[in-house]
Amino acid sequence: MASIPLRKLLAEFPQLGLTLLSGQAGLEQSIQTVDLNRPGLALAGYYKEFASNRIQVFGRGEYGYLCDCSNDQQCCFLDSFFQYSCPGMVFTHNNRPPISVLERSNQHGIPVLVTHLSTHKFTLMYSAIMDELLAPEIEVHGELMDVFGVGILLTGDSGIGKSETAVELIERGHRLVADDLIHIRCISETALFGFPNPMLGHNMELRGIGIVNVRDLFGTGAIRDRIRIDVSVQLLPWEQFQDTDRIATNHYRDILGVRIPELWIPVRPGRNLPVLIETAAINHRSQRMGFDAGSDLAQRQREQIRRNMLASRDYQPGENNA
């Protein structure tokens, strides 16, 4: 299971506005879930379903209740609360916790942090960050392109022409995200996002030429660092492509449990692959807007067949229609 140390959140995400108050010894504790917990029931003494594996968020309600408690009540709560090894405590709205909380956090090595953000804003921002950091990830060989704003994952056998096709697309004004090795993350369990390999960056290998840097050759407008993957395009040798697949519209590819449309494009000398991929991207955008040429044609064919059948039933041989 993926995990993130609390120290990483504190150091690399200033937008969360986190400041460490105490419990520095626990900054290496791992966070393994995107969920947060507001310990309202714990303040009342109910721990049966206490989610101790989550960051504990003290909003205005929890903070106000804690401050209104007597010293004995605070001690009773803190004795019970710090028996659980939670990854950390965050006080929102820039509310500073009582000194007793800071003392206990140092004793137990549980970090206490404060943020100026409201509870709602902190929750939204934290969840978005952790969704990406803890997302399941795989690596796929191919090309990842931004074509008219559509994320195209281009795959196929080695030597079939993926890199050459990508270069032609770049020359036509589209953008490269990753070449050869693509990092794919499933974020929020519904969307696939692709990233370049940190080592390879936006370098590209072209047979007969070697390694080229797309940013240096074509400028920063020819690259981007991430994109949502909308369509998978698989390049196939012409002899492997079947005539029965010519108008297929129901091919899908499953990546990390998310299904995306997949197109099979046969390759042979003379075919203009960049134009075909551009057409695929435009067609995908059209389908997202509710226009599907294939479905529309099939519907018109069914209507014509129905009209022909009705006409044949109404026709009576031998009748004089003059």
pLDDT of res. 250: 74
Residues 155, 126, single domain; the answer is no
Identify the CATH number of the domain in which residue 257 sits.
Answer: 3.40.50.300
Do 153 and 271 lie in one domain? The reply is yes
On whether both 49 and 63 belong to a single domain, the answer is: yes
Q: What is the mean pLDDT of residues 190-211?
A: 91
Query: Is 141 one of the annotated active-site residues of the chain?
Result: yes
Question: Tell me: the pLDDT tens digits for 214-244?
Answer: 999 999 999 999 999 999 999 998 887 765 4
Count other Cβ atoms within 10 Å, centred on residue 235: 23
65-124 pLDDT, tens digit each = 999 988 888 889 998 999 998 999 999 999 999 999 999 999 999 999 999 999 999 999
The active-site residue, picked from 96, 141, 172, 207, is 141
Active site residue 35: no
Counting the structural domains of the chain, the total is: 2
Q: Which amino acid is located at 247 in the chain? A: I
CA distances from 272 to 188, 235, 241 (A): 36, 12, 17
307 inside domain: no
Sort 128 into a burial class: Cβ within 10 Å, 0-12 / 13-18 / 19+: middle
Q: Are 126 and 172 contained in the same domain?
A: no
Q: What is the mean pLDDT of residues 126-149?
A: 94
| Annotated catalytic residue within 35, 131, 180, 292 | 180
Residue 192 sits in the same domain as residue 269: yes
Residues 90 and 168 in one domain: no
Domain assignment of residue 250, given as a range: 137-294
Annotated catalytic residue, options 48, 68, 72, 246? 246
Give 121-136 pLDDT, tens digit per residue.
999 999 999 998 999 9
pTM attached to this predicted model: 0.76
* Confidence (pLDDT) at 246: 61
Q: How far is it, in rounded angstroms, from Cα 127 to Cα 192?
A: 17
In a domain, 253, yes or no: yes
Q: Is 93 a catalytic residue?
A: no
Question: Which residue among 54, 104, 146, 162 is the active-site one?
Answer: 162
Does 246 participate in catalysis according to the annotation? yes
Are 235 and 96 in a shared domain?
A: no
CA distance 180 to 105: 47
Take residue 299 and report the two structure tokens written for it. 């519907």
CATH classification at residue 23 = 3.40.1390.20
